[in-house]
Chain A
Amino acid sequence: MSAYKEIAWNGIWKQNTILAQVLGLCPLLAVSSNLVNAVSLGLATIVVMMLSNFAISALRALIPYEIRIPVFILIIAALVTVIDLAFNAFLHDMYLVLGIFIPLIVTNCIVLARVEAFAAKNGLRAATLDGLVMGIGFVWVIALLGAVRELIGQGTLFSGIEMIFPTLSGFQILPVEYPGFLIAMLPPGAFFVLGLLIAGRNWLDARANERMREQRTHHQVEHATSAPA
């Protein structure tokens, strides 16, 4: 596997920020009560992670090891502030919907974690790619979590999309009479669904490992039988 492919695989599956590293739960649980909010926060997080990884990779030679954490935090906070202001000024309609999520990104420790673990030790291209794929790994999990919670909680998908694209509207998936299931919308529901997702990932990984081991023993057996007596 090439280095870039490995970075991508790590971000999306193997070291997935939520499923494997279980980082950044605060915004994850707070915002994943429906699909639209979840994807919105996820996309904003991708932008911040790419920019912060890029900036810190570019400045890494200038940052003394001893004070790297405060400098990282300073850079991330400054970038988020700039994005927040720019969003408010130039994309105001979207800011009204997504604006509340941008400051939340600062509370996501995954940004700092990737900067420290990856961007500070790698080149520009690899660091930016890492920010992108780690962000994508965050988006697909938070989107899945949001979709499951919204579907179980209120029987809809994409509700609230009209606030981002006024011409679209959400879908009623379950019958309108569906009374809703409140706990899915509340924080405990987020923990339940997240727990199931992590369990699902572990199950898939365990199954893949099992297969690999079987294949290996199979090979060995073949090897042993084909060997001259």
Chain B
Amino acid sequence: MRRWLPILLIIALMTAGTLPAAEKELKVGFVYVSPIGDAGWSYAHDLGRQHIAALPGVQTAYVEAVPEGADAERVILNMARKNFDVIFATSFGYMDPMLKVAKQFPKTVFMHCSGFKLHQNMGNYFGRMYQARYLSGMVAGAMTQKKILGYVAAFPIPEVIRGINAFTLGAQAVAPDVQVRVVWTKTWYDPATEKEAAKSLLDVGADVIAQHQDSPGPQEAAQEAGAYAIGYNSDMTAFAPKAHLVAPVWNWGPFYEQIANEVRDGSWKSRSDWYGMEKGIVALSPMTDLVPRTVQDMVLAKKAEIVAGTATVFKGPVSDQTGTLRIAAGESASDEALLGMNWFVQGVVGTTE
């Protein structure tokens, strides 16, 4: 036994060396569904991560391109085992794997984006992007001459469908007879295909192009055709100065900071946070000079109403493509209905499949 003692000692020392330092830093982990290089959804979350990484006493880490399912469970599990204090999982499909892990690690805080399941140590959160989409739709409705708007869409999931519907309602609020044509690319980041999709919409007469993907491909197409374009996720003026009007943008930083602070001082409670423009999670980039002053004022007035809570986007009467009434007059759509939205409002040309 004595022979082994030095070796045991060395092993003990080595293990001690790898223990975390004495001063307690808040360890925050992020799980992304795509590479942050997609310039889109994950990228926006990563900007939020960078925001809190710059705060004192916060240490962050992320794992990107994690497929939903078994891989996600493993990644979340490993983060929990590595004593992360908060773990943010930013895709719908991470919900069940995260819940499974959350039940095993009651001291860790789990935050799931875009889902609905809760546990005592698992909360969920999302942003009301559709509010900003509605406002961008108003801009489009005011700017279109031909009353045809084009929408380059990513995948037919509720987040995207909700955005198209809000955009359409916004446009209809300004130009009631406007039509929104949708082309699915089934891509999140393929600028060439997305540009081509925008061109196909321009060919059928659209004179304002909106998009859900984050590549500025559609913006370029609009500029080349002398049409207008509405961006997404960042101010895309630089890519198409003669076309870019406005862009709805994500801004996760303040929210992540809030949660990090709550977890640090122990005040965090499991809940569902679905914030909108009032908290700045979702915002509208400044409108460019191409948008006339009067239109800007009208949109900003509406924005103020939405922020104040006096206006809601999905307020009845709203009918779907077939003319069936989906939201009765005077009623507003519930959060649950919004979360699972899989039908287009009247005025959209396209299919949700």
Note whether A and B form a binding pair: no
B positions within 8 Å CB-CB of A: none
